[in-house]
Chains A and B, each alone.
Chain A
Amino acid sequence: MNKPKLAVIGNGMAGIRAIEELLKIAPDKYDITVFGAEPHPNYNRILLSPVLAGEQTMQDIVLNDWDWYRDNGIKLVTNKKIVNIHRTKRELTAESGETYSYDRLLIATGSNPFILPIPGANLPGVISYRDIADTEAMIDAAKHHKKAVVIGGGLLGLEAANGLKLRGMDVTVVHVMPWLMERQLDERAGKLLQASLEAKGIAFKIQANTEALIAGESGRVAALKFKSGEQIPAELVVMAVGIRPNAALAERSGIAVSARPGGIIVNDTMQTLTDPRIYAVGECVNHRGIAYGLVAPLFEMAKVCANHLAEYGIGRYVGSVTSTKLKVTGVDLFSAGNFQGDEATEDIVLSDPIGGVYKRLVIKDDKLVGACLYGDTVDGSWYFKLLREGKNIAEIRDQLMFGESNIGDVGHEGNTRAAAMKDSDEVCGCNGVCKGAITKAIKEKGLFTLDEVRKHTKASSSCGSCTGLVEQILMFTAGGDYSATPKMKPMCGCTDHTHQDARDAIKASKLLSVPDVMKFLDWRTPNGCATCRPALNYYLLSTWPKECIDDPQSRFINERAHANIQKDGTFSVIPRMWGGETTADELRRIANAVDKYKIPTVKVTGGQRIDLLGVKKEDLPNVWKDIGMPSGHAYAKALRTVKTCVGSEWCRFGTQDSTQMGKDLEQAMWRMYAPHKVKFAVSGCPRNCAEAGIKDVGVIGVDSGWELYVAGNGGIKTEVAQFFVKVKTSEEVLEYTGAFMQLYREEGWYLERTVHYVSRVGLDYVKKRVLEDAENRKALWERLQFSLDGEPDPWFEFDKARVDTRQFIPIKPSAAMADAVPAE
């Protein structure tokens, strides 16, 4: 066996995560040895606090047990501190004297607690809070002593204080700054936090400077003395005043280390500045001047590092935005981004001191840049998402403070507090996943990110409306937070490119087929997957109509068979009824087909047409032919129905002929493929019987013309369409609707509904392109007409629509005959 040797120094969360990521993509590449100074296999350091608080046990928090190392062929050497790296010899020396050679090296030594340089800092009974040994020392001290002092009112210090209090000690927190957690909270929130911890029985000394720790008769620490001269009893002192990247080993071995804030200097591929054979990840590194102290960024580093160790050479770490959550049961607190604000930012503040709720949102240039929540953190993950994605919030600004559940949500509940839910409560309605299943998967499989939870439980993998809830469950179960690099979400696992990257490349380099795009953008897989192929195929179609190669095999079955697949494998047929109007003849043909093909269910759809359900695949072409009506595209990411009311032809309130307008719109735009399904509606007066307020484009007749509304949606989350423009003539209705549609077709990401597209780019932008720029509007409308001109009806023009009719003919196998046996 001649595999190159990969050595890992530091058996902690970042190092082992990098190995896990590496095993996923290149399991056999290296002979791996891990050196750890602690005696334990890798455990979840974050959960030391719940262990201290007695809410979990040490066994609960092991992430990778000994079997994991063995099963993956990894040598784990515990209790082994590495003291030197000899770079030219490529050799490590342990404290105990042995040497080990390596071909590549990964340093993941974490960080060291900072110890205040005061007299008495090294007395027995004075500890820091970093690992299992510290935690055990605290649990033990709580059994024999009464008075505890925690120096440092930050995240770690408060979690330690809370745990010690729960274990029966009298705890005082000594903090030098004017309020608690000053790096994560503003003053108001810091004070509220203090009040609620005081209510739990924890005492505070704020803006207090420690001068010395004083020993008692036994030699153990007995008291703490302040600069003011005051003394308080202290039989256990926990120093939690910050951490420093643990880069001493690297520095001693001649690897470049930053002076401030410390840490091994790495580039975007996680290689050390000094030696490309040596990688570093975790709290011990300094990336672009930042040393991180939370797990989420470390995991992103680990992923990038693994990719380069595997020699795939794809992916760069470009830094992270982080958020903070305090894990003290009963205290709800969340902060992210620039929550303090500065001259260039504006604040929205909600303060309810009696109810114990305080929220501050910091906004800059119509974007959320920071959030600090106290007492009610339900929307923390939603704010964090807005912040990370840099979404334009101008249009939701006045509702922003009231949270995601306030923004047009009637479908699913967004305001159930995840923490208050029972294990049996359903979280994801789409996939029927309850809370217990999610927490179990998080614990057993060691999940940390939303994506991992989606993969393992399917929760929030469909409609996504429960994402916030799942993120919250993740937060308090794994303790971790999750942060993604801003706006870098790749299309799928086949590539690191985003949807926008793919769109841009197709346009700029005139790529005309799915394989061409994959080749051009260095796809990692030979022919993509079921996520990226349909998207790419749509991008080709919408960018280069009539020139690109439409690939039916890259379409979902519904668009390949031109009917909707049902759960039993049969299909449904929904013929087009222009504007929802039909005739006796059409109904007769439908009735005859239902009898002839024994179609089990006939249903009137919500889109004012008729759905024939339970059609066998082999009958589809004949059903289409017998009915003799155009395809309704109810199966496609395309224009579906145009719902209309009866309008001025019959209705006593009608001001406009809405039925005719609907038919005109439908005839102008049917066969129009789009990023997602598209629905229109036209009402003849503001009574709006056609429910135009929840359609992608809703048209409402008024005395003097037509009002257009865009980007509505009746789906999982009802979104009311926004007023777009008022026009006079029906020609204008066509032109404005068409232009809006074409803009969406050209710029929307695959599976992005109009409402999501518009919220991404902002309604103002759409107005600029369609309303204010008349020339552009005409050009868009012309491009749409050009695309649709001559588009085939797939139910009748099989060749032109590239329908593979072989799919409708099942194969009958030959009888078992001796002469049919192939040569061996």
Chain B
Amino acid sequence: MKIETHMSWRYVCKLEELPVLGARVVERSEDEGGNVAVFRNDKDVVFALLDKCPHKGGPLSQGIVFGERVACPLHNWTIELKSGDAVAPDVGCTRRFSVKVDNGDVFVEL
């Protein structure tokens, strides 16, 4: 089955529905590219990354969020929320998605 893959903005939830210094999972099938983790930090900045650690695919949504980073729950790699890059000395990158918060509504470009 071929899925249409062009990107468009999708409403996901209200800002308050995201835990502060935490994340929630936006469900997508493997065909659509897999789950997306939507993070919120203590400054109410929202980020979205593919929910797969560049190391061994750990669910980043389950990690501890601090500053603009998340620590993967499986082996503690640290990933930059803005870019999806692993923090040195680890090397790797996970896909990032654009986010907009409008009037308390969170949109992600999926």
Binding site for B on A (CB under 8 A): 455-456, 525-530, 533-534, 553-557, 560-561, 565, 567, 569, 804, 806-807, 810-816, 820-823
Contact = CB atoms under 8 A, between A and B. Distances in A.
A529 B71 contact: yes
Contacts of B9: 816, 820-822
B11 A557 contact: no
Nearest to A553: B21
Given A811-B12, A814-B10, A816-B10, A567 B56 contact: yes
Centre residue among A456, A527, A561 by max chain B CB count within 10 A: A527
Given A527-B42, A806-B17, A822-B100, A565 B12 contact: no
B71 A569 contact: no
A553 B64 contact: yes
B11 A814 contact: yes
A619 to B, nearest CB: 14
A214 B64 CA distance: 72
Given A804-B22, A820-B11, A813 B110 contact: yes
Contact of B66 (A533, A555, A804): A533
A398 B42 CA distance: 53
Contacts of A816: 8-10, 110
Given A528-B66, A530-B63, A813-B11, A822 B42 contact: no
Nearest to A814: B11
18 contacts: A455-B89, A525-B66, A527-B41, A530-B64, A530-B71, A534-B64, A553-B20, A553-B64, A565-B62, A806-B24, A810-B25, A810-B26, A811-B13, A813-B110, A814-B11, A816-B8, A820-B9, A822-B9
A556 B64 CA distance: 7
Centre residue among A525, A530, A810, A812 by max chain B CB count within 10 A: A530
B99 to A, nearest CB: 10
B62 A811 contact: no
Contacts of A814: 10-12
Contacts of A804: 19, 22
B73 A822 contact: no
Interface residues of B, number: 43
Nearest to A569: B59
Contact of A813 (B20, B56, B108): B108
Given A533-B64, A533-B66, A567-B56, A822 B19 contact: no
Centre residue among A456, A567, A569, A816 by max chain B CB count within 10 A: A569
Given A527-B21, A553-B20, A811-B24, A820 B67 contact: no
A806 B19 CA distance: 8
A304 to B, nearest CB: 23
Contacts of B11: 813-814, 820
Contact of A811 (B26, B65, B74): B26
Interface of B: 8-13, 17, 19-22, 24-28, 35, 38, 41-42, 56-59, 62-67, 69, 71, 73-74, 76, 78, 89, 100, 102, 105, 107-108, 110
A822 B102 contact: yes
A585 B31 CA distance: 42
A567 B73 CA distance: 10
Nearest to B76: A530
Contacts of B58: 567, 569
User: When A and B form their complex, which 3 residue pairs have the shortest distance between CB atoms, in order from nearest?
Assistant: A530-B71, A822-B102, A816-B8
A529 B24 contact: no
Contacts of B76: 530
A528 B35 CA distance: 27
Contacts of B27: 810-813
Given A553-B64, A804-B19, A810-B26, 5 more contacts: A556-B73, A557-B64, A806-B17, A811-B13, A811-B38
Contacts of B26: 810-813
Nearest to B65: A553
Nearest to B38: A811
A557 B21 CA distance: 13
Contacts of B41: 527
A815 B8 CA distance: 9
Centre residue among B58, B62, B69 by max chain A CB count within 10 A: B62
Contacts of A560: 62
Given A553-B22, A557-B73, A804-B22, A527 B66 contact: yes
A822 B67 CA distance: 26
Nearest to A525: B67
A151 B13 CA distance: 78
A529 B41 CA distance: 13
Contacts of B25: 810-811
B59 A823 contact: no
Centre residue among A557, A813, A816, A820 by max chain B CB count within 10 A: A813
A805 to B, nearest CB: 11
Contacts of A529: 64, 66-67, 69, 71, 78
Nearest to A568: B57
A822 B74 contact: no
Contacts of B64: 529-530, 533-534, 553-557
Centre residue among B12, B64, B74, B78 by max chain A CB count within 10 A: B64
A814 B8 CA distance: 11
A820 B11 CA distance: 6
Contacts of B20: 553
A527 B24 CA distance: 19
A569 B25 CA distance: 12
A813 B62 contact: no
Contacts of A526: 42, 66-67
Contacts of A823: 102
Contacts of A557: 62-64, 73
Nearest to B24: A811
A810 B27 CA distance: 6
B105 A822 contact: yes
Contact of B62 (A456, A534, A569, A815): A569
Contacts of B21: 527, 553-554
A813 B7 CA distance: 13
A557 B8 CA distance: 31
Contacts of B62: 557, 560-561, 565, 569
A265 B47 CA distance: 50
A253 to B, nearest CB: 39
A557 B78 CA distance: 15
A626 to B, nearest CB: 23
A645 B102 CA distance: 61
B35 A810 contact: yes
Contacts of A565: 59, 62, 73-74
Nearest to B68: A526
Centre residue among B17, B21, B57, B110 by max chain A CB count within 10 A: B21
A824 to B, nearest CB: 9
A92 B71 CA distance: 47
A561 B25 CA distance: 14
A813 B89 contact: no
Contacts of A530: 63-64, 66, 71, 76, 78
